[in-house]
Amino acid sequence: MAAKKSKPKKNVSPDVLIIADSDHNADMLYATGMFAPDPFIYLRRKGREYLCMSDLEFDRAKKEAPHCEILSLSKIQSALQRQGVKHPGWGEVAAWMLKKYRIKSIQVPEAFPLQMARRIGEYSPETVLNPSEVFPERLIKTPREIRYLQEALRMTEIGLQVAVRTLKQSKINQRKILTFQGKPLSSEKLRAVIHTAICQEGGLASNTIVAGGNQACDPHNRGSGILMAHQAIILDIFPRSESTGFFGDMTRTVVRGKASDGVKKQYAAVQEAQQHAINITKDGVSGLGVHEAVEGVFRKHDFPTKRINGQMSGFYHGTGHGLGLEIHEWPRMGKTSTDTLKSGNVMTVEPGLYYYGVGGVRLEDVIVVRSGKARVLTSFEKVLEI
């Protein structure tokens, strides 16, 4: 069952128009609560909600989006053809709806399709489209949405469990290569093991990071090739629940074998910085303030952020981001953040340190911001050497 939306407050919710599929567009999924792979139209007018659906999806929409009035795409297209529109598409149909409901000004997502906007402007020139954040309430998670996030995080932890178990069961050969079941263990193989375990739990994982050695010093490097013993390996897993659309997101750094003194020092500093960030995150705190506090911990431990031999090194990404129907949502905790955190925000906390020739270390957990101490939603153990 897809994520259920909260009903809009009367006399508060602005008029909204979205043209998109809900498999990939989080706003559309939030608005409708149903998954659909092809585009359709969502319209909110004075608190009433409408969907325009193809014949293929019409009956399903009635069942899965009972809060919406369902309009027939084919019937509207037939009406437009009688008016002389030869090939009415989604833009023309949307313009027809805007005219029918006498809408002169409406909010659309900032990523509203340009071609659709042009069509609407051609057939309904009196209507103004206002690009904006159409569902700001998405930033404050309801108790139900937090449960959905916990389910996605459970899948994430299962992925981490199978990854750590596989690494523990791996052997170290004379060349310090990790082998599993008699074959070299690669990032690709371990990623496939993780994805299979998550799939069996009803999740969909993609672009999982399994990066060792210097690859781990590039925070978004997925990792490739043979994994080596005694090197830090970053495991960053962020699956999506196929039933609700919500994401999980967790990172652990492990070493199969013995970690170097340099990696141990990085790990201790990252763990301290992360815990400090969690401790100070609460309602009313600025995202920039949390990030600067993390930077302060790293400065205390003499971990500079700068280019070393041409490579960016140290801590050079944000401390955290919102999590929900998208893997990266607002608010943010980072160097350029202007956000003030509020109760109900669900945030990742993921500081890291990266030095070529030593290794990369990142730890990531998920919290709910509250008026007092943040609630931590993740509990997977933090163990460096395995």
pLDDT per residue as tens digits for the range 218-246: 999 999 999 999 999 999 999 999 999 99
Of 358, 378, 385, whose CA–CA distance to 214 is shortest? 358
For the chain, domain boundaries:
16-137, 143-376
Instruction: Give me the mean pLDDT over the 337-343 stretch.
Output: 98
Question: Binning pLDDT at 50, 70 and 90, where does residue 72 land?
Answer: very high
Portion of the chain with pLDDT greater than 90, in percent: 96
Residue 7 confidence (pLDDT): 42
Identify the pLDDT of residue 11.
41
Per-residue pLDDT tens digits for 96-152: 999 999 999 999 999 999 999 999 999 999 999 999 999 999 999 999 999 999 999
Q: Is residue 23's pLDDT more than 60?
A: yes
- ω before 331 within 30° of 0 (cis)? yes
Six-digit token string for 262 = 């340099």
Residues 6+ apart with CB under 8 A from 299: none
Give me the pLDDT at residue 148, please: 98
The residue whose two tokens read 């008029």 is 15
| Choice among 11-20, 209-218, 231-240, 343-352 with the minimum mean pLDDT | 11-20
pLDDT at residue 161 greater than cutoff 80: yes
- In angstroms, the CA 99 to CA 90 distance is 14
Strands of 173-319, DSSP E: 178-180, 183-184, 203-204, 209-212, 232-237, 240-241, 250-255, 306-308, 311-313
Q: Which CATH class is domain 143-376?
A: alpha beta
Report, as an integer, the average pLDDT of 7-34.
84
The band of 13, judged by pLDDT with boundaries at 50, 70 and 90, is: confident
In single-letter form, the type of residue at position 367 comes to I
Assign 333 to helix, strand or coil. strand
Under 8 Å between Cβ of 128 and 47: no
Has residue 66 got a pLDDT over 90? yes
Contacts of 262 (CB under 8 A, 6+ apart): 355, 358, 359
Instruction: Report the predicted TM-score, pTM, of the whole model to 2 decimal places.
Output: 0.93
What mean pLDDT value characterizes the chain? 95
- What is the mean predicted confidence (pLDDT) over 182-204? 98
pLDDT for the residue 9 = 39
Strands 48-53 and 40-45: what pairing?
A: antiparallel
* Whether residue 10 has pLDDT greater than 50: no
Which homologous superfamily does the CATH classification assign to the domain defined by 16-137? Creatinase/prolidase N-terminal domain (3.40.350.10)
